Amino acid sequence: IFLLMASELITLFRDLVTFSISSFWLNFGVISALYLTFLMFAWVVIEVVVGYDKIPKIILSLFGLGWLCQAILFGAYTLLLT
């Protein structure tokens, strides 16, 4: 997942430099999906390894904030495509 995210980020910056806007938004959507997948995977691993009741509240808040930002970005991306 990290390698995919890194390659997509490189492509994203290349599109920004070359002003390829349609390709930029496509890659932005791919990165958003990969990031959300990573968050969900990390959440499951932390929950299984540590146990839900032992997870510090700050980590729960960071994951919640990450998901909220992700939802906003993905919503904006979807609106821009329509």
SS3 55: coil
End-to-end Cα distance, the chain: 28
Report phi then psi at 55, rounded to 5. Answer: -75, 125
Taking the C-alpha atoms of residue 34 and residue 74, their distance in angstroms, rounded to an integer, is 12
Confidence of residue 20 (pLDDT cuts 50, 70, 90): low
Question: pLDDT tens-digit profile of 28-69?
Answer: 776 777 777 777 777 777 777 777 677 677 666 777 777 677
Confidence of residue 19 (pLDDT cuts 50, 70, 90): low
Taking the C-alpha atoms of residue 47 and residue 4, their distance in angstroms, rounded to an integer, is 24
The position carrying tokens 């700050």 is 58
